[in-house]
Structure 1
């Protein structure tokens, strides 16, 4: 089984709970010979932002013009992200909630792979199909506030966004998720909340190692 772990927090695990979730997950699957695990760290990769430079690159490719440095980097980064997703059976995204949404670097990764003909297709009448629907997606998210309540859920645009993109647009199997929330809003329960959440991450990793996925 090929597992792609997309790490989207460059803060140390001593400070960031999602970084600790990443460490816990990786420790849990370490040494499993039947698993081929690759980490794609969006903060370590060269990932220029999606924008006009990329569209300029596409135009230049079509007419044979020379590409600028940033255009070459964009095309290489986009292809690397697509290749990583295509090779994976399971995609594990580990990310925080920052300002109600995902980190910009993770957004860039999604922009790279959100491509008609790759992660989704339109037929002649506009219906959408999903070329990568066999892939399983796991979300590991940390958020200091409580966003699972009816009154706060609409403001949460990280996990909700990931479900919209990977579950709806890309049609992938949203297999599982672990969300640690409220550890900043409820400091008296912080240690318990984090400990219980990390235990769930460990249990999920054990399920993968035991091939019950």
Structure 2
């Protein structure tokens, strides 16, 4: 099984629960021979934001004109993200909630692969068709506040967005989610909250390992 782990936090694990989740997952799977695990560190990648530079690049390619440096960079970054996704059987997203949403760098990764004809298409009647239905996903998310209540869930634009895009638009089957929340809101319970969440991450990783062994 080819696993792509999209690491969407560049803070050290001593300061970031998301980074702890990423490291916990990687420790569980990196030595398993039946798994090929690749990390796509979005903060280490050269990923220009989506904008006019990309559309100018498409125009220049179509016209056979020379590309500028920024156009080359964004086309290269976009293709690398697409190649990483297409090669994966399972995509693990490890990401925080920042200001009720996902980091801008993760949004850029999504923008790169959110492409008609690649992750989705429209049929002859105008209905959207998912094109990544053969792949699986796992969502690992951390948020310092509590957003699982009915009142707060509606303003969560991180896990909800990722569910809607990854599963609803692209068609990946979400196998598992681990959400660690409330460790900032309840600092007296933070250690327990984080420990229990990391234990769930280990269980998710072990489930993947077990399923892979069974498939062999």
TM category, shorter: over 0.9
**Structure 1 segments of 4 or more deviating over 3 A?**
none
Partner of 1:83: 83
Distance 1:71 1:157 in 2: 30
Partner of 2:185: 185
Partner of 1:112: 112
Partner of 1:149: 149
After the TM superposition, which residues 61-210 of structure 1 pair with which residues of structure 2 at under 5 Å, given as runs? 61-210=61-210
Q: Deviations over 1:11-50 (max 9, x none)?
A: 0000000000000000011210010000000000000000
Distance 1:209 1:175 in 2: 13
Q: Note the C-alpha offset of 1:167.
A: 1.1
Q: Note the C-alpha offset of 1:171.
A: 1.6
Distance 1:129 1:96 in 2: 29
Q: Deviations over 1:108-153 (max 9, x none)?
A: 0000000000000111221111121111010000000000000000
Distance 2:108 2:52 in 1: 14
Q: Deviations over 1:149-194 (max 9, x none)?
A: 0000011100000011011111211111100000000111111000
Partner of 1:59: 59
Q: Deviations over 1:67-98 (max 9, x none)?
A: 00000000000000000000000000000000
Distance 1:5 1:90 in 2: 8
1:12 aligns with 2:12: yes
Distance 2:199 2:164 in 1: 27
TM-score, with length taken from structure 2: 0.97
TM-score, with length taken from structure 1: 0.98
Distance 1:51 1:175 in 2: 33
1:27 aligns with 2:41: no
